[in-house]
């Protein structure tokens, strides 16, 4: 079973087509693995064995009947518990939605079903996707399978931990400020944040609507390309969805060979970068240079304002989005209240955790009368300058190469100061502010055996080029083939 659960989508799909294994057997293997290790990892909030096996049986029936099949037919895919699946819990890892069952499918869920995927489990995350460690979950923290004393990253920590531990074959997460890329780096995976608007947000529990984007976690770059191809595309139900022709990302990997021009932002190699991470990324830069790539320094001068800008815009949008949780229509409702206002206050106080409350308060403040122009409007203007920095750099280079995180996975409970936690996202939040595609790919390990990830940042809607650059590195190294021992 160990060999089976760690195989990439490409190998498993070939084995399924050759009838060397069945979708039911593959699903039984991930179910068994989940039961064996999830007690230690807490990567899943819930899972439905009977439903998963029924999906797998339907996939086998399609193969037996010779019917047309999708790119993920029979492949188990886990979903972060902020993505709606009809008839399944949708908790956002919050007490506010602890008993909520989704009445409909998210668009990405429908697309996965059309591709034949076996939807497997609801994956733990920071409450309402607000955090960098998955310690903010109302159901307890998820754990990094490489070191059970450390976090898997956040907010999509359960998605990363589940895949790294072999309890599923691919997963989906959401990325508002690094919530796919940072957990991917912490857990030794490929994690892709697509261009804003490429993947529909319909059915995603909203945190910050102008920043949120759904994307895949995968074992390999090619697997990420396969999943992205399944979920990308225009959606009339998402007003920010972009009308673009979706290429065959997997097929285009073979046709893009470089060499490329890569930019190294000097602001991302400053004080605070862990020396082992810095050294690993420098070795990756040297590799690209050895392959004939032109590597040149570039500057993103407004990087110093990214953190402030992000936490004004993100909290403002969170304050607006989370206003809907009032104890009236759905979600947690306080048992005792003296009047309507008291019901609102008690329901929200009981339903939301500390970090969510902190962000709601910050967001309400920056949107309040007398402060809107000073904070929110100014932050939006700086956001434009941050995006212009990236676009200016792309006049000279094809992509940017940086560390994904300034530090490796840290110990559970180590970062009790919110500001220290926020600094973990310093290399990833600019991408969301600019709406760009970026991915993290494994590029080494620390002396303590913790994974290291490097980040590649691409041009808008050029995911094909970004994936090709990443695969060129992956093919020459074996970091992605290593797995934690549990």
pLDDT in tens, 96-148: 999 999 999 999 999 999 999 999 999 999 999 999 999 999 999 999 999 99
Q: What is the mean pLDDT of residues 175-181?
A: 98
Query: Ranked by mean pLDDT, which of 60-74, 219-233, 360-374 comes out on top?
Result: 219-233
pLDDT value at residue 68: 83
Record the pTM: 0.97
Q: How do beta strands 118-123 and 294-298 pair?
A: unpaired
Write the CA distances from 244 to 26, 196, 198, 247, integer angstroms.
Answer: 34, 12, 8, 9
Residue 299 annotated in active site: no
**Residue of 179, 241, 319, 347 marked catalytic:** 179
Comparing 179-188, 253-262, 276-285, the range with the smallest average pLDDT is: 253-262
**Residue of 132, 133, 155, 347 marked catalytic:** 155
Residue 80 annotated in active site: yes
The 10s digit of each residue's pLDDT in 394-447 is: 999 999 999 999 999 999 999 988 888 998 999 999 999 999 999 999 999 999
**Residue of 59, 80, 133, 241 marked catalytic:** 80
The 10s digit of each residue's pLDDT in 139-155 is: 999 999 999 999 999 99
Q: What is the mean pLDDT of residues 213-242?
A: 98
Residue 356 binned pLDDT confidence (cut-offs 50, 70, 90) = very high
- For the chain, the domains span 2-263+396-481
pLDDT value at residue 102: 98
pLDDT at 370 over 70: yes
Residue 193 binned pLDDT confidence (cut-offs 50, 70, 90) = very high
pLDDT value at residue 256: 77
pLDDT at 467 over 90: yes
Q: Please provide the average confidence, as pLDDT, over all residues in the chain.
A: 96
pLDDT value at residue 217: 98
Write the CA distances from 7 to 3, 146, 220, 225, 283, integer angstroms.
Answer: 6, 18, 10, 16, 27
pLDDT value at residue 33: 97
Q: What kind of fold does domain 2-263+396-481 have according to CATH?
A: Amidase signature (AS) enzymes (3.90.1300)
pLDDT value at residue 271: 87
Residue 385 binned pLDDT confidence (cut-offs 50, 70, 90) = very high
pLDDT value at residue 486: 85
Residue 296 annotated in active site: no
Q: What is the mean pLDDT of residues 325-331?
A: 93
pLDDT value at residue 2: 54
Residue 310 binned pLDDT confidence (cut-offs 50, 70, 90) = very high
């Amino acid at each position: 079973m160990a060999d089976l659960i760690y195989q990439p989508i490409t190998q498993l799909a070939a084995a399924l087509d050759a009838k060397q294994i069945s979708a039911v057997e593959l699903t039984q293997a991930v179910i068994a693995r989940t039961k064996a290790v999830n007690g230690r990892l807490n990567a899943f909030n819930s899972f439905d064995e009977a439903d998963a096996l029924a999906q797998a049986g339907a996939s086998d029936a399609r193969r037996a009947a010779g019917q047309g099949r999708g790119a993920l037919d029979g492949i188990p895919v886990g979903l972060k518990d902020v993505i709606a699946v009809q008839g399944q819990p949708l908790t956002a890892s919050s007490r506010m939605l602890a008993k909520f069952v989704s009445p409909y499918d998210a668009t990405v869920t429908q697309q996965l079903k059309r591709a034949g995927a076996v939807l497997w489990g609801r994956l733990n995350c920071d409450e309402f996707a607000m955090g960098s460690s998955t310690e903010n979950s109302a159901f307890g923290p998820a754990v990094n399978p490489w070191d059970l004393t450390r976090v898997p990253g956040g907010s999509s920590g359960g998605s990363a931990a589940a895949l790294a531990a072999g309890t599923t074959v691919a997963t989906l997460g959401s990325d508002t400020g690094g919530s796919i890329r940072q957990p991917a780096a912490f857990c030794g995976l490929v994690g892709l944040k697509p261009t804003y608007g490429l993947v529909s947000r319909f059915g995603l529990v909203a945190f910050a609507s102008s920043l949120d984007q759904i994307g895949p976690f995968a074992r390999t770059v090619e697997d990420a390309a396969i999943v992205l191809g399944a979920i990308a595309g225009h959606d009339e139900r998402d007003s920010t969805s972009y009308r673009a022709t979706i290429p065959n990302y997997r097929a285009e990997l073979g046709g893009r060979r470089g060499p490329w021009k890569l930019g190294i932002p000097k602001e991302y190699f400053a004080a605070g970068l862990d020396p082992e991470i810095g050294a690993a990324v420098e070795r990756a830069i040297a590799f690209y240079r050895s392959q004939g790539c032109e590597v040149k320094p570039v500057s993103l001068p407004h990087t110093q304002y990214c953190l402030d800008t992000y936490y004004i815009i993100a909290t403002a949008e969170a304050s607006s989005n989370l206003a809907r949780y009032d104890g009236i229509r759905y979600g947690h409702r306080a048992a005792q209240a003296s009047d309507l206002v008291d019901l609102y206050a008690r329901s929200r106080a009981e339903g939301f955790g500390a970090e969510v409350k902190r962000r709601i308060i910050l967001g309400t403040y920056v949107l309040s009368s007398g402060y809107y122009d000073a904070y929110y409007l100014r932050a939006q203007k700086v956001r434009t300058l941050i995006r212009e920095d990236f676009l200016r750099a792309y006049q000279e280079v094809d992509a940017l190469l940086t560390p994904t995180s300034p530090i490796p996975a840290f110990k559970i409970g180590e970062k009790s100061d919110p500001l220290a936690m926020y600094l973990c996202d310093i290399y990833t939040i600019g991408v969301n502010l600019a709406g760009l595609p970026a991915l993290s790919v494994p590029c080494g390990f620390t002396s303590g055996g913790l994974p290291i990830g490097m980040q590649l940042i691409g041009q808008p809607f050029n995911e094909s080029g970004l994936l090709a650059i990443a695969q060129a590195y992956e093919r020459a190294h074996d970091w992605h083939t290593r797995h934690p021992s549990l």
